[in-house]
Amino acid sequence: MAEEMTAAQNTEEQVPDFGSLPDPIQFSDAAVEAVKGLLAEEKQKNPDVNLMLRIFVQGGGCAGFQYGFEFVEKAEDDDTRIVKDGVTFLVDSMSYQYLVGASVDFKDDLDGKQFVIKNPNATTTCGCGSSFNV
């Protein structure tokens, strides 16, 4: 019994602290501020709503896959939650595999206002950057 207890203690000591790892998807300060602004607009329409931003990948676009964004009130069981500066981002398990390592930024320039995803998993992207292939 004492040997079993020692083995269990040794195993627990070897478990890494995953809380210290960087987020699997990075969100720039500009992206967070843009989402905060959009959330504030939604709160004016409906003060009781608590929204999170879902980022997802779906089939389509000229390169095979395309990115999508939507506000949701409820997380799904398979969602990964990433919280930055009070904003909750959700990524479903299917999309996660395509987005891990990516960074999300927000640009306001001559092309307009838009979220921009830099995805190291994408082997090709379309000209507008909204679709990709792996």
> What are the residue ranges spanned by the domains of the chain?
22-133
pLDDT digits (tens, 9 = 90+) for 6-44: 444 444 556 555 455 456 899 999 999 999 999 999 999
Interacting residues of 50 by C-beta distance below 8 A, sequence separation 6+: 73
Q: What is the C-alpha separation between 112 and 20, in angstroms, rounded?
A: 36
The pair phi, psi for residue 4, each rounded to 5°, is -65, -40
Write down the architecture of domain 22-133 according to CATH: Sandwich (2.60)
Interacting residues of 95 by C-beta distance below 8 A, sequence separation 6+: 55, 56, 57
Q: pTM of the predicted model, to two decimals?
A: 0.75
Start-to-end C-alpha separation, the chain: 51
